[in-house]
Chains A and B, each alone.
Chain A
């Protein structure tokens, strides 16, 4: 008996030994920068990148760097990094899809390098700005008045698109971004009329947006969005944009009380019901300069 148990012991220890060392063959180790915030990020990143006997990822939340060990004969660093990006984490080689990033828990939504927004702003303020601004402003403020509000409208449309898709996570993210664009508006650059309206709606806008940002519950978000849209309408009526904007109405929302929203397209994409009632509603007013 004893000898059997001894043999067993040896076999077990041998097995566990091989299990421990059944590690990655032909191993290569590299250090790669991967964005992320917290321990939750660490778990997601490592789970995404690890591959039994082929790749092992060890991410450090302080340095934002991972040491990746992989079997160079069976896989490549790119394969590992692509999987990590598809889990939502930007890295040296790959940038995560926006939708996947938006699905990350709030604490994991690390600071992303700004992308397209920068390019857009530049081109906008140069060509369209100067041409007609002189005709409208009173000569004392800077010439770029309408464009000061453009980012606010842009974010609003993104938020609306997220609601059209019934995507609560993205809606929350976009609402957050909407709030920061509100805070970034330089009021002294607004024309007098716009300035007055802005002062009256600004608080309400960020209030409604905060409600959207704080939840992923799409029903609550839509409720707040209907209030937000009223104030956005007041704002755009005072500060029409170069491209036409359509004021649209859904008669069914909130037990038939109805609700409005603004859209860049004439075709109806209803943000209050998403796919179930996507084309319900109609354009009630076209607002343009």
Chain B
């Protein structure tokens, strides 16, 4: 067997050429790609922004292999930071899996790393950086493995169709680090951009004032189906593109095409809909399923679906529309050649209906109550209450609801079953059936229970209320069968992804349960997954929403007595670096420059700890200067409770003989006061923060406060009152991400107006 490699260096791909034709059929073909990872500037919105391009392109080039090949991928890191590449959904030796600090050390700037592994499966997959937030700014691409031409599982009418790999993604002009920071500080800029603030004024206008009130009573922030505002949505790097010809032949009426679609978005789910009729789903996560006809499907972050589309009429192109779950943005791909038949955009979500639904499900203690509905597999979608195309348009003011007579006739189950409520067929996991039996080998089975947990207000996402750095790896015996039972007790949906293995989704199809490596679990759903532990190594199991993963929502499976990974020379150091991801502190600062003084705060927080300083600085000694610093630890899943130690300092010039008394008659005469304190903060219903603090001199202070009450879309109200007879009330009008106009009245400093700068 002679394999000669001729290598073309340059922008394009470097592919190993097979010259000699070996007589031996089992001969392995090595397919080599060279990937040059480099910083680049892009301009998608009229502003130059930093992104990362590979071989000069975003998305990264499509890598194509045939089952039986050996992949050899040379990654040349030309960035100023380290990188890595993860081959999503692939079966491979653990050291090729591409998770920095877990399966290899990060690829240092200026170095080259070679991934080499046999291709032992087929199907639509993708690849992406697993380092930091690089996936958000360009490091995602298609990874396609074709069946061998003589394979037994070739499906006529599917595997022989004209095929286009499509990777979905989003773009934000904000730096992803900043997006991450803002999420952790419950910044509502994204909601403002999406027109989804859901303020009291908007609630009143929609006739949902009571709903909003109840929502805050249950200590929830405005609900949304996604957290990040994106400027652009892409299919293969473009908002609008066409698939009009294949291999030089123009597509015509009656032709079928197959799209291999991966969701490379960092945090967006996408609805896929086709203007040319039904879509036939033929595979998911690289595994064939029996064809299913649907009107639409939602593709979770990091899932893949293969769909077959038909071109109904000559001289026409039909829109395939990918709309973000929050419906604020979309990308179009036109299938066919000619005039473009559009599909109607999805109507805006009925947010207050969603809020009402959430209120009903949320118990006072922050747990969710499924009212005995036993939800799973996306069959029931609570969000249908927000979908006008399923549950009708939002009633206009004055419209009496005409539904009352019908209620009661319906079972609870059907209330959220999208497919029973309308004639729009939406794909769910129960509709998927493998093309061949997927039963696991006979082996001892162990069941692991997981609860997906989280806290929207502080953007802490975890499993069993622990983040990655707070847990040990989960030990697995090679050869055993693992059954994962996962319950989502958080308010967001989570696409859970397992590295290195496919799992069976137990969905009522018996031996034909479909195989996947990502499953989307909606709030209150319980799903059961099974897999055979058959490859040693450290395998990540995590939520694939990038910002959830970076917050620590995951676990690591590791095999008992496995060989050491040669790519991790110092496992202790690697572990520390891996844990640093979710331990990362998030910083915020805000100062109000007002006519009566400066008011501000600064906060550094991570999963459990918070260090915060507030200050009030007058312009003269009579108004005084004071600061309070609290170092606290959040307790419990919802993190409503925070004991803290504090340090207060203040200086205020008081008149002769002037004595300050608090509500309890305790006196305070000092102009210059420095005090240590112990205290506890608790978040009350209505999101009011209640602080109790005891100072070293025995003084006691109780305080109630709330900032950022959403009065109107851009108007926020705040207030504070305490037993030192101090009080404050103010308004803020948000101009942009960092800038707001403000006015407030303060018992120490009087009335003041100015502007607030925040980061």
Contacts and interface: CB of A to CB of B under 8 A. Distances in A.
Interface of A: 78, 82, 85-86, 92-97, 99-100, 115-116, 119, 161, 164-166, 252, 269, 273-280
A113 to B, nearest CB: 10
A243 to B, nearest CB: 17
B392 A166 contact: yes
B422 A165 contact: yes
Interface in B65-115: none
Contacts of A82: 340, 342
Interface stretch (B6-14, B402-410, B686-694): B402-410
Interface of B is mostly: loop
Contact of A96 (B253, B312, B342, B414): B342
Given A82-B342, A252-B409, 19 more contacts: A92-B339, A94-B339, A95-B339, A95-B340, A97-B275, A99-B344, A100-B344, A116-B312, A119-B312, A161-B423, A165-B422, A165-B423, A166-B392, A274-B392, A275-B390, A276-B402, A276-B406, A278-B421, A280-B409
Given A86-B342, A95-B342, A279 B414 contact: yes
Highest count of chain B CB atoms <10 Å: which of A78, A100, A166, A277: A277
B313 interface: yes
Nearest to A95: B341
A165 B295 CA distance: 15
Contacts of A280: 406, 409
A275 B312 contact: no
Interface of B: 240, 253, 275, 312-313, 316, 339-345, 390-392, 402-403, 406-407, 409-410, 414, 420-423
Given A82-B342, A275-B392, A276-B403, A95 B316 contact: yes
Contacts of B409: 252, 277, 280
Nearest to B341: A95
Contacts of B392: 166, 274-275
Nearest to B46: A74
A92 B313 CA distance: 16
A228 B422 CA distance: 23
26 contacts: A78-B240, A82-B340, A82-B342, A86-B342, A86-B344, A92-B339, A93-B340, A94-B339, A94-B340, A95-B339, A97-B275, A97-B341, A97-B343, A100-B344, A119-B313, A161-B423, A164-B423, A166-B392, A252-B409, A274-B392, A275-B390, A275-B422, A277-B409, A277-B410, A279-B414, A280-B406
Contacts of B345: 86
B379 to A, nearest CB: 15
Nearest to A118: B313
A41 B406 CA distance: 39
Which 3 pairs across A and B sit closest by C-beta, in order of nearness? A97-B344, A276-B406, A95-B341
A178 B299 CA distance: 38
A252 B405 CA distance: 10
A53 to B, nearest CB: 13
B423 A269 contact: yes
Nearest to A113: B339
Highest count of chain B CB atoms <10 Å: which of A82, A161, A164: A82
Contacts of B253: 119
A96 B341 CA distance: 6
Contacts of A92: 339
Highest count of chain B CB atoms <10 Å: which of A78, A269, A275: A275
B185 to A, nearest CB: 34
Contacts of A95: 316, 339-342
Contacts of A96: 342
